[in-house]
Chain A
Amino acid sequence: MDGNRLSGEAVQLLFRERRRRRLLAALAAVAVSMSLAACGPATAGPDAGGDAAAKDTLTVGVSLSLTGDFADPGKAAKRGYDLWASDVNERGGVLGRKVVLKIVDDTSNPNQVTTNYTNLITKDKVDLVFGPFSSLLSIPASQVAKRYGYAFLEPAGGGPKVFEQRLDNLFFVQPASIVRQGDIFADYLLKLPADQRPKTAAYAALDDPFAAPLAENLRKRLEAAGIRTVYSETYPDSLTDLTPVIAKVAAGKPDLVVSGTQSEDAYAQVKAMKQLKFSPKWLFMSNGANNPVEFPDKVGSNNVNGIFTTGDWFAGSKQPGAAEFVKAYLAKYGGEETGIDTTSAEAYSVGVLVEQVAKKTGKADNATIVKTLHSGTWTTPIGDLSWDAYGEPQSNYTLVQWQNRRLTPVFPAEVAAVQPLTSKPAWGK
């Protein structure tokens, strides 16, 4: 789930650019008022790599954001990849070949990511590549991989534009594309008896390609089921104070509020609701609320209970392989289970998939990986995954809810740890 949060951060890069532009516009206004008159890679590489000497190793090239805006999630992804490599080598490697990771830094820069993957493939002649962090970087990287016939498994790049490229070598290693990560909440609501469902709903979403479409998806499904919309608006990133927006939402007295959020705006919505003493019966927030550490820290741990969100990996997950992942992670890096970034689990799952393909087919080359992953369902610590022809995952996220100040899976029943609360406790409870 970090994929979308951080793809959101990718978007923030663009927003920052926009802010600079607004500054220039303001400067122009000053100038007016003061009446200041003065004022591509050409070299082709081998399809799949390795000379004879390298056959007892399987080299995997990765470009990650170890510095720059995505440095934190980039490092989380690195921990996941590193953990898988050391795990699989302990088990004897992939088909007896020791996995060697070659990880290079792209400084969170889309140009650098292109250079990095081109070099990894044509100069270092790595056997496989794994994806970088965020949609912003995965898009150019996946094109390089496609050009050289490499499979492109990526743990964090699930924005609509990733799949619009229609690349058959790409696999987004999460259970659902970002705009579909809220669908499980609609599944849950619509499974309730009609008299227990919310009657009215308000939708307030950040205007970005990840948050707004997610809320829009939910709105369409809930409206079709007869849940009346009393408010539906998107707000720009520049609107840091969401109190006026929430004032309007509260005026409609909705049973349900669906918040299409990224991170800061999720915190701002909670703060505004608290200040306006508005506590809806149901509150679903897409991103921001799914961060086990930051969310309670930013909004206060006594204000999280009852809020719904979604996740793929979370502490205490019952998914096969999840417990082993946690054990290995804590042994290697220490810390606590709740502190493990989902991006680490997603990156780890990329490796797990390669291992499974190798086990099933006896091969670990790019063509086999692409062909094999296109059929069947694959069990990973973050869920059972399958993809359409262009790498969009076809499963669902898990519905989680803050209960007793912890993110707890509540739907579907197979993975639920407890029953969902059907009425959000008041703020501070």
Chain B
Amino acid sequence: MHTLVQAVILGVLTGGVYALMASGQTLIFGIMRVINLAQGAMVVLSAYLSCTLFTTAGIDPFLTILLLAPLMFLLGVVVHRVFLRPLKAGDGELSLMVMFAVALAVEGVLAATYKTTYRSINATYRDESLELAGYHLSVTRLAAFGLSLAVLGGLWVLLHRTRFGASIRATVQNPTAARLLGVDPDRVSALGFGLGAATAGAAGAVFGLVYPFNSASHYDLIARLLAIVVLGGLGSLGGAVAASILMGVAESVVAATWSPAWASATFFVALLLVLLVRPRGLFGAQLRGAL
């Protein structure tokens, strides 16, 4: 029983880390219907940058987020401007390929710059943990979880309480009507894409603290992120959070109580089963635009 509860705690905290990464992914899909295959590569890129800032300038990894989120936002806007905007609206397959190409390009540059050896951000508090009623909570993951909640809360406020958020939601629900009301869909898309990239920037530092990574880590990452957003329902922020935590807990509990070999597979099997009965995912709306 103790092991099970400990595993659930670990899983929830891990889920928080993934929720942060998946929120950007689902946001971008909600706004643009683009599956951003480069989200994982952007996370890994920010993990490297955070690692570099930490080792060379001694900046705490969590503080690097203040630099990396705006930087990745800009990168996102540039990627959108250069690669996505020229595509015809609704050209889903092509944008998929373009973003995959961006991911491979980022991987290539990282491999050339940093080599392929695994890195990790070795902050002094990295392996500290709090003990609560006999259960152990990793300090890093707890902080990551908190950060994730804060970012997701911020995103929610942005979407539901600001004019910009209203224009995003309007674009999501009906691009033509939004345009008639004076919303510039290109601008909304660019800013939305930037926002998604910025969450990758925030997630990178956390990812680098929790997991070892190299330039090829984005394959595993994007596979999980896609699975999360599909399970949660493409475009659904709440769904992404729920699916992240579900994945974290499923993996952790299976690894701790049954067999580590089945830990990752269990989640992917669960994903397929959910899609069989509910093809739009847990929280996905039939029409796009469930934000």
Contacts and interface: CB of A to CB of B under 8 A. Distances in A.
Interface in B229-252: 230, 234, 251-252
Contacts of B160: none
Interface string A365-378: 00000000000000
B216 interface: yes
A329 B117 CA distance: 25
A69 interface: yes
Contacts of A238: 220, 264
Given A33-B280, A244-B256, A271-B127, 6 more contacts: A26-B268, A30-B35, A33-B275, A72-B115, A235-B260, A239-B263
Interface in A228-285: 233-236, 238-245, 247-248, 251, 263-264, 267-268, 271, 274-277
A247 B7 CA distance: 7
A16 interface: yes
Contacts of A19: 216, 219-220, 223
A331 interface: no
Contact of B255 (A29, A244, A276): A244
Contacts, number: 139
Interface residues of B, number: 56
Interface residues of A, number: 49
B52 interface: no
Interface of B: 2-3, 6-7, 10-11, 14, 35, 92-93, 96, 115-118, 120, 122, 126-129, 131, 136, 138, 210-212, 216, 219-220, 222-224, 226-227, 230, 234, 251-253, 255-257, 259-261, 263-264, 268, 271-272, 275, 279-281, 284
A19 B222 CA distance: 10
A357 B279 CA distance: 70
A20 B126 CA distance: 30
B90 to A, nearest CB: 12
A19 B93 CA distance: 22
6 contacts: A26-B222, A33-B230, A33-B275, A235-B261, A244-B256, A251-B2
Contacts of A244: 7, 10-11, 251-253, 255-256, 260, 263
A30 B230 contact: yes
Contacts of A263: 118
Question: Which secondary structure characterizes the binding site on chain A?
Answer: helix
A2 B131 CA distance: 38
Contact of A235 (B14, B255, B281): B255
A33 B227 CA distance: 11
A48 B90 CA distance: 66
A110 interface: no
Contact of A240 (B211, B219, B259): B211
A245 B10 contact: no
Given A238-B264, A245-B256, A276-B136, A33 B279 contact: yes
Interface stretch (A34-42, A51-59, A172-180): A34-42
Contact of B10 (A26, A32, A233, A247): A247
Given A29-B275, A34-B234, A244-B252, A236 B260 contact: yes
B212 A251 contact: no
Contacts of B227: 26, 29
